[in-house]
Structure 1
Amino acid sequence: MKINYNIPALKVVNILNKANEAQSSSMERLSSGLQISSSKDDPAGMAISLKMRAQLDSLAQASRNSSDAISLIQTAESSLSSAHEITKRIREVAVQSANETYTDADREKIQIEVDELIKELDRLSNETDFNQHKILSGDKELADSGFQITQTGKYNGLQAQYSISLDMPTSGDKFTIDGQPFEFYDSSVSTTLTDPAAIGLDLQGDWKKDLSYASLPNFHIDPTGADLVLTAKNPGSSANTNPINVTNNSIATKQITQGIDSKEYATYEIVLPSINSGTSDPEPHKFQAGSGFTIDGVVFEFYDPEDYDNGEYDGAGVGVPTTKEDGSYLLDFDLALIVRAQEYPNFNLDAVNMGTSYDPMVLTAKNSGIAGDYLAGYDGGFVDLKLSVQTGSEANQLTQIDIASSKPDTLGLTSKTPIYGFTDYLILNDDPLTAANEDRYGISLLTMEDSQFALGAVDRAIAEISSRRAYLGATQNRLEYTVKNISNNSVNLDGARSRIQDTDMAKEMVLFTKDGILSQAANAMLAQANQRPQQVFQLLQS
């Protein structure tokens, strides 16, 4: 028996220290809920967990970015909805102005409303913003470049019109317009109609107004005059068959105008900017960067390659370099080739090869009638607003949103020059604060011919707005799916991170209980080990 070293006690102390350390670690895990609370617990696991945590935070921000983009789109779509209502109203009064029962003085009153509606369209495009982004006025306005356009052929079809005289209608009178039966009744006596398919016209109410609300397939009804006036929705002789059928002699009808067919295609002659023919100029000239022109919605922008990375144009329009790869200036002939190479949605471009240039260039509508009868181009232009939304947690995980300008110029409702179909007076004036060229002539309804042109122009404007709203709606749906996908990814990633870093509470509690029992047993055994030297003392006493 030796007393210098109590080896059993030392062994028990070692075991007790290990049990206490394990119990302390278990208590830390149980109180924090973390399997890895510091790098010493699991260096590799800690590194992976921190990387996942950073990615989760980034995904949360990407989700907020996508939600912000949805809000931006909703703001733009709301203003475009108002623009839609405005253009529909302009079309309504254009149909009204095309009616020959109105005088020029009447059309002047109609024109006042149209001018104000166009001003409101311009205000909407200028003042709709989201966090200081003017989202409906385009990225930038291009300066004039010298582009010219002249309409050389126009659509001249005419709608058929009929009048209905209903001075003294009585209950039971019946007539049919465009296949729809109508029947008068007196609500003070009875509301029963003899024809269940007929639309009832109450003699005690505003029956003319009720009549105008009827939706007919081929005609509009104007109830404002002494006689009702029916106007065919589409020009042409196909509407020259009287659409009115009466069953008594108290209702008189007559045709006011004949519908006239027209297969004529709208045509425009364009003159491209010309400053560098390259043949007779002793000193070549350079096109002005930042200027441009627009043909059938396609924006051409002159740019200096030195202003862009690698000399490549990254704008939303068609880039026209002011200098070529060999360092020489762009020629008029080169510009003509670029213009001819583009596809235009509603027009065909024809040109006669003159050797060094193309002159003239003629735009011909692909469809006859009012479908191509609108201002097909103008000098200057508005480049689409391009917004990049960070919708991912890594670099270059971007979603591009392109929002086209909705200014009256881009919708074809204003012109910089008083050409055919537009007013001979300005409806928008220069802005003295910005010195911008804001002088604009508006679409005209002052004559029947102008009204026919306006119908084509407004139809095109409505189609443009509809297209932009459809694009914004589709993009919003896409971003909503992006938010859902980010949410799913975050849940899965958080689950993976939890499996690495979080404590399994049930398992840890088992270990904590085991270590507690071992600690108590070690304490008991330490007491026993400390009693062994006392046996030596007893031996010495004996």
Structure 2
Amino acid sequence: MLGVNTNVNSQVAINALAQNEQRMSTAMNRLSTGVRINSASDDPAGLKVASRMTAQINGLEQAVTNATHAISMVETTEGGIREISNMLHRMRELAVAAQNGTNHAKDIEAMQAEFEQLQDEIERIADNTQYNGINVLNSGADRTFAIGALGESLRVNLFDFQTKNAAVTYAAADVTNGSDKFTKADHGFSNGDAVVYNHGGGTAVTGLTDGTTYYVTEISGNDFKLATSYDNAVAGTVQAITGDGNDAQTLTKVSAYGGNIDKTTISVNSSTNAAAALTVIDKAIAGTDGSRASLGAALNRLNYAVSSLGNTKVNAEASRSRILDTDYGAETAELARTQIIAQAGVAMLAQANMKPQSVLALLKG
């Protein structure tokens, strides 16, 4: 049918051009940004998946950063312990040498002077070794490192390397047996600290054994509880107590040395004292070696964690790329196709607009 009021062919051409323009615009956006999904309408499901994977990748990146910082802290700690270990070995040499019957009194004085200097330096290292402003050798505190994208963590005990820890008295009034807790202002303990209970010659707290090592847990202000093992302390499994004990009982924090190695405890100023010091130093060396081994195991785990996180991140990025990134081969072909169709559409629109003019030929005839 010939008509002039409605040009159907022109409307069809205009509609086809509009649709083609949209497809061409999408192809140009993808080519210019390098991203396949530039708006939610491009691929709603793909956008949701890509967003979730982006969150995972960001979490993995932060976990890698956390783990590398943890490695630095543990390496700093282990480095300080290594120097302490070297000095303990030198102290042991002096303790052995001081027992030799060929020593002159001046020799003993010189050995004792060096021995005391080493004790002072060990204490200085313990008090001043820091990472990011955190003392790592004089608290014995646990550090929890977030090493996973979903908040997985690794708990590491940094141990206490102070040369002396004094016994702290806990009166019966400081013990609350109904809730298994001890109370002392400024007790100075951290979760996981090893402490030795001593009843002081009186009635022991029911549930605790004199001379036994326990582990601090569930610290809340001035209150804390005890566990029978480090693992139980971490898990929050407390030792039940049903009695208050007496007013002379004590808790003594246990250092990594297994005892005190300060000037008032050991010396080499006589053959007898040197022999006693040798026993203490051997125990301290064993404790120090155990601490280093524990930190070494943690370092290995952290290094493996960084490697695993890196691999997971690469795979996650590759998966997201397949969803989110532009396929330049496909999109350049799409752009060329839509440009050709646009040119053809414009030509056909011109032809459609010319069609009503054929009516004039009929009218002239």
Q: Which amino acid aligns with 2:214?
A: F
| Aligned counterparts of 2:94 and 2:313: Cα–Cα separation in 1 | 54
How far apart, CA to CA, are the structure 1 residues paired with 2:7 and 2:363?
18
Answer yes or no: is the 8 Å Cα contact 2:21–2:338 preserved in 1. yes
Residue 277 of structure 2: which of 451, 454, 460 is its match? 454
Which residue pairs with 1:516 in the alignment? 339
**Following TM superposition, by how much is the alpha carbon of 1:145 offset from its aligned partner in structure 2, in angstroms?**
3.8
Q: Can you give the 5+ residue segments of structure 1 that lack an aligned partner in the other structure? A: 147-272, 277-285, 336-377, 383-404, 415-426, 428-440
Q: What's the CA shift for 1:84?
A: 1.4
TM-score (normalizing by structure 2): 0.75
- Counterpart residue number, 1:55: 56
TM-score by length of 1: 0.52
> Which structure dedicates a bigger proportion of its chain to helix?
2
Q: Which one has a bigger Cα radius of gyration?
A: 1
Alignment match, 2:214: 300
| Residue in structure 1 matched with residue 253 of structure 2 by the alignment | 381
Q: CA deviation at 1:17?
A: 1.1
Say whether the 8 Å CA contact 1:323–1:329 is kept in structure 2.
no
CA distance in 2, matches of 1:509, 1:302: 66
What pairs up with 1:453-532 in 2 under 5 angstroms? 453-532=276-355
- Partners in 1 of 2:276 and 2:103 — Cα distance? 17
Residue in 2 that maps onto 1:413: 261
CA distance in 1: counterparts of 2:84 and 2:298, whole angstroms: 19
Paired with 1:294 and 1:60, the residues of 2 have a C-alpha distance of 45
**Contact 2:21/2:342 (<8 A) preserved:** yes
Q: How far off is 1:316 after superposition? A: 5.0
Q: Deviations over 1:26-56 (max 9, x none)?
A: 1011111111111111222212211211211
Structure 1 residue 107 corresponds to structure 2 residue 108: yes
Q: Tell me by how many angstroms 1:379 deviates.
A: 5.7
In structure 2, the partner of 1:33 is: 34
Between Structure 1 and Structure 2, the one with more strand by share is: 1
Distance (whole Å) between structure 2 residues aligned to residue 67 and residue 321 of structure 1:
33
Aligned to 1:127: 128
Per the alignment, in what secondary structure is the counterpart of residue 31 of structure 1? helix
Would the aligned equivalents of 2:215 and 2:226 in 1 still touch at CA under 8 Å?
Answer: no
Letter in 2 for 1:478: R
Aligned equivalents of 1:530, 1:13: Cα separation in 2: 11
Q: Indicate how the Cα distance of structure 1 residues 445 and 294 shifts in structure 2: closer, same or farther if over 3 A, else same.
A: farther
1:75-128 Cα offsets, whole Å, 9 max, x none, are 111111111111111111112111111134421221111111101101111111
CA contact (8 A) 2:216 2:224 kept: no
Q: Distance in 2 between matches of 1:21 and 1:304?
A: 63
Change in Cα spacing, 1:139 to 1:314, as seen in structure 2 (3 Å) is farther
> What RMSD, in angstroms, separates the aligned Cα atoms of the two structures?
3.5
State the shift of 1:294 in Å.
6.4
Match of 1:186 in 2: none
Aligned residues: 311
Q: Given that residues 215 and 227 in structure 2 are in contact (C-alpha distance below 8 angstroms), is that contact kept between their aligned partners in structure 1?
A: no
SS in 1 for 2:3: coil
In 1, Cα distance between the equivalents of 2:319 and 2:135? Answer: 42
Q: Is the 8 A contact 2:34 2:325 kept in 1?
A: yes
Amino acid at match of 2:69: D
Cα distance in structure 2, aligned partners of 1:316 and 1:73 = 19
Alpha-carbon distance in 2 for matches of 1:318, 1:517? 74
Identity of aligned residues (%): 31
- Distance in 2 separating the partners of 1:303 and 1:509: 64
Displacement, 1:302? 7.3
**Change over 3 Å in CA distance of 1:311–1:500 after alignment to 2:** farther
- Contact kept in structure 2, 1:145 and 1:288, CA below 8 Å: no
Question: 2: distance between equivalents of 1:450 and 1:518?
Answer: 100
- 1:134 to partner: Cα distance: 1.0
Partner of 2:76: 75
Partner of 2:268: 445
Mapped contact 2:183–2:224 kept (Cα < 8 A): no
Partner of 2:205: none
After TM superposition, give the deviation of residue 330 of structure 1 in Å. 3.5
SS in 2 for 1:443: coil
1:333-412 paired onto structure 2 within 5 Å: 380-382=252-254, 405-406=255-256, 410=258, 412=260
